[in-house]
């Protein structure tokens, strides 16, 4: 049944406007050298910005560029997902970059992962590998680059610059409908969203249920509405501490690791390059690479991402899980909801905001336990949120 189901999935995806080539390590290493990025600093948005990493230089050497450090060179994610695909979604005028490993069995579950602001689907690469290995193929993973992120781009004309939560939710809904066009034949789905992505999956959950998709649960990673809203007034001052760009992708990866924005160097070498682009000719930037999605440009949408998140999370008609990187203070709604047992909360120690990159093994263990509890029927065990 394993091979039959894989063949069926490949045949289904092959009917899409684009083909589904396996990840090519040479191609992706070459392309990924032109991409990379980070997430908003502050509670629920990212780690506080640290002092810009600059090597100590003498005055005479100030203009001399550093040689790229091979310890931080880009890595291919070829062995972390089965496929890397450009999926055309005409209704959104976008071609989304999708990374996908299907479940091996017809009754398996697909965990759909939405990244945070400024990152890409590759921030879930290490997690995807751990999860599929631990579940022995019962769970698949689908991650993608949101609009204005990574390798997602407009089909024609200029790319729509809107990153409002309504637009992002509609994008996710349409991606699911294109890849799994028949809800009755779709595998069950478990939604996972990091930071900004958490808000998107929570809001998309009821829409998928309306379309008759089976949603086993929704997981929000490291974002609490109250803390995020309180942090917004400080965002611009914190962003001032971030470099405008870097002279090499190795330097970009090194900065993220040195500042502990990402604590897992192996993951950073895969996820960060795709978040940068070569600096366009004629740009005033003195750096060879600049951010694909400058976070300051997303400021008009910050409030829309997080306002109302707690109430929508608690109202989701499926199992609910909140994973935090520290003992973040819950807002009133979540505190009451937790006391009433409406959701499960787990705090992972020794990680930063990029939970799925810093400790992908622990997060995979948590997600498999959550999946087993809420997707499989276990006599006498209530699902999370059940009275």
Active site residues: 195, 222, 353
Asked if 82 contacts 264 with a C-beta cutoff of 8 angstroms, the reply is no
Residue 367, both tokens: 């997600």
Using CA of residue 92, residue 93, residue 94, residue 95, what is the dihedral sign?
Answer: positive
Instruction: Give the CA angle between residues 52, 55, 59 to the nearest 5°.
Output: 110
Contacts for 56 with CB less than 8 Å, ≥ 6 apart? none
Distance CA 6, CA 8 (A): 5
Asked if 111 contacts 60 with a C-beta cutoff of 8 angstroms, the reply is no
Distance CA 280, CA 276 (A): 12
User: Among candidates 213, 186, 184, 185, which has minimal Cα distance to 201?
Assistant: 213
């Amino acid at each position: 049944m394993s091979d039959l189901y894989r063949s069926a999935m490949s045949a289904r995806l092959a009917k899409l406007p684009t083909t589904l080539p396996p990840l090519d390590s040479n191609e992706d290493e070459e392309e990924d050298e032109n991409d990379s990025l980070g997430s908003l600093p502050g509670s629920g948005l990212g780690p506080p910005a640290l002092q810009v990493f600059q090597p100590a230089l003498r005055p005479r050497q100030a203009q001399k560029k550093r040689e790229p450090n091979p310890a931080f060179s880009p890595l291919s994610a070829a062995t972390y997902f089965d496929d890397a695909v450009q999926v055309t979604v005409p209704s959104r005028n976008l071609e989304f970059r999708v990374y996908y490993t299907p479940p091996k069995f017809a009754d398996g579950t697909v965990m759909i992962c939405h990244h945070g602001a400024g990152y890409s689907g590759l921030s879930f690469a290490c997690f995807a590998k751990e999860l599929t290995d631990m579940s022995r193929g019962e769970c698949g993973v689908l991650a993608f680059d949101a609009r204005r992120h990574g390798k997602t781009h407009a089909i024609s004309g200029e790319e729509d610059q809107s990153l409002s939560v309504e637009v992002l939710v509609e994008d996710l809904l349409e991606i699911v409908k294109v890849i799994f066009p028949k809800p009755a034949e779709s595998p069950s789905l478990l939604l996972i969203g990091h930071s900004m992505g958490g808000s998107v999956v929570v809001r998309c959950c009821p829409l998928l249920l309306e379309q008759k998709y089976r949603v086993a649960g929704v997981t929000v990673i490291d974002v609490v509405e109250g803390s995020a809203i309180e942090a917004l007034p400080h965002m611009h001052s914190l962003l001032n501490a971030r470099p405008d760009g870097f002279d090499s992708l190795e330097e970009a990866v090194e900065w993220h690791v040195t500042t502990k924005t990402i604590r897992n160097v192996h993951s950073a070498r895969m996820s960060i390059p795709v978040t940068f682009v070569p600096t366009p000719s004629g740009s005033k930037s003195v750096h060879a690479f600049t951010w694909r999605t400058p976070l300051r440009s997303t400021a008009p949408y910050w409030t829309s991402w997080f306002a109302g998140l707690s109430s929508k999370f608690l109202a989701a008609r499926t199992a609910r899980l909140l994973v935090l990187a520290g003992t973040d203070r819950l807002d009133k709604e979540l505190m009451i909801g937790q006391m009433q047992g409406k959701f499960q909360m787990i705090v992972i120690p020794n990680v930063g905001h990029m939970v799925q990159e810093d400790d992908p093994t622990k997060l995979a263990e948590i997600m498999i336990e959550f999946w087993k509890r809420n997707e499989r029927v276990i006599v006498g065990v209530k699902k999370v949120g059940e009275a």
